[in-house]
Structure 1
Amino acid sequence: MEQVQKLHDQYVDVIDKALDNVPAARCFQEKTGVRKAYGAIGVGAVSVLLILFNIGAPLLVNLFGFGFAAYQSMNAIESPGKEDDAQWLTYWVIFGFFNVAEYFTGFILYWIPFFYVLKLAFLGWLMLPNTRGAEKLYHGSLKPFIQAKLNKVAAASPAPAAANPKQE
């Protein structure tokens, strides 16, 4: 039991440290006296339960997919390196592509059990810096697909007309 308590304390400390830069989390702790980590874990657990029971799931999942990514994108813009910029630009391409695809296939996706739980996990996989899912999906599938379509269009279009010689 002591090992479980140590592990719990270790993870709560990591979460608290990560939330030190979030003003809303600091305000929550000051006003309630509850550690920032517990507030974040509570909000996360309630959100996951709402998504699991499909109560406002489309909004919550898209808020996660947009909100966290927007926050990280703003951090990437302000950082001196360009590596994180490419990661988040790639994420936005994939996110936009799948949101458009979801719009047109929503009537089918509605019948997939736990679709929004799966979408939440998918978005998390796309975002995580250690999985780099967006980059893998972009380079492995989306980029070759789009390039193949562009090559077909280029092959089907007429060649540009040569300069007309002067007609006399």
Structure 2
Amino acid sequence: MADYIKTFQDELKTLDTKLAGNSAFEQFEAKTKLPKSYGVLGGASLYLLLIFINVGGIGEILANFAGFALPAYYSLIALKTTDKNDDTELLTYWVVFAFLSVVEFWSKAILYWIPFYWFMKTVVLLYLALPQTKGASYVYNMILMPLSDKYIKIHPSKTDEIGSKMENLAPKGKTTGFSTHGI
């Protein structure tokens, strides 16, 4: 247990270092005499508490925002890089997110009977979205890929054809952010 506490404290110190220079957190630290990382912990705790108690239906909005904001941020960064791995991870996340959204839409009447559904959804979406957990890849490889392999057959010649058509859509000499990455 002592190892977990030390690891947690080390992570807080790392977070304090990363937040150095951020004016909002510098003001928080100056006014409260607490480390900047405590402000992040407090904000995250309040966010999760609001989802947990779901006052006025705010849990649904906050849960969906948690599942959208962080991956959208990472996606915008990934569009500016040439690394294929981050693109693949994020595309996998968005496929899993869309799949879960469709399942949720068609089973909403049942899901509302589950206590603390929005809190659980937030935890699942964060598990799927965080690069450290690679949760979206796990769900894709265990559930969606076997389903798609069963019903969707793509021949290599078709993927080459699709890739070349997409590349021809962009005006010559301009970049669109779209890359086929060898599809």
Q: TM-score range by the shorter chain?
A: 0.7 to 0.9
Paired letter, 2:54: N
| Deviations, residues 39-90 of structure 1 (Å, cap 9, x unaligned) | 2111100011111112311111111100011111122222342211110110
Inter-CA distance 8–145: structure 2 relative to 1 (3 Å threshold): closer
**% identity of equivalent residues:** 34
Counterpart position of 2:17: 17
Q: Distance in 1 between matches of 2:111 and 2:92?
A: 24
- Bigger radius of gyration among the two: 1
The answer to which of 33-42 and 82-91 deviates more is 33-42
SS in 1 for 2:107: helix
| Deviations, residues 79-134 of structure 1 (Å, cap 9, x unaligned) | 34221111011001111111121112111100011211211111122122232111
Q: Say if 1:28 and 1:36, in contact at 8 Å, map to a contact too.
A: no
Paired letter, 1:31: Q
Query: Normalising to structure 1: TM-score of the pair?
Result: 0.74
Q: Distance in 2 between matches of 1:28 and 1:49?
A: 22
Q: Distance in 2 between matches of 1:122 and 1:45?
A: 17
Counterpart position of 1:162: none
Paired letter, 1:112: I
Inter-CA distance 9–137: structure 2 relative to 1 (3 Å threshold): closer
Q: How does 1:5-154 map to 2 (within 5 A)?
A: 9-19=9-19, 26-32=22-28, 33=30, 35-55=35-55, 56-150=58-152
Counterpart position of 2:165: none
Q: Say if 2:19 and 2:25, in contact at 8 Å, map to a contact too.
A: no
Inter-CA distance 109–81: structure 2 relative to 1 (3 Å threshold): same
| Residue correspondences, number | 146
Q: Distance in 2 between matches of 1:120 and 1:11?
A: 22
Q: Say if 1:87 and 1:135, in contact at 8 Å, map to a contact too.
A: yes
The answer to which of 31-40 and 67-76 deviates more is 31-40
Q: CA RMSD in A?
A: 2.6
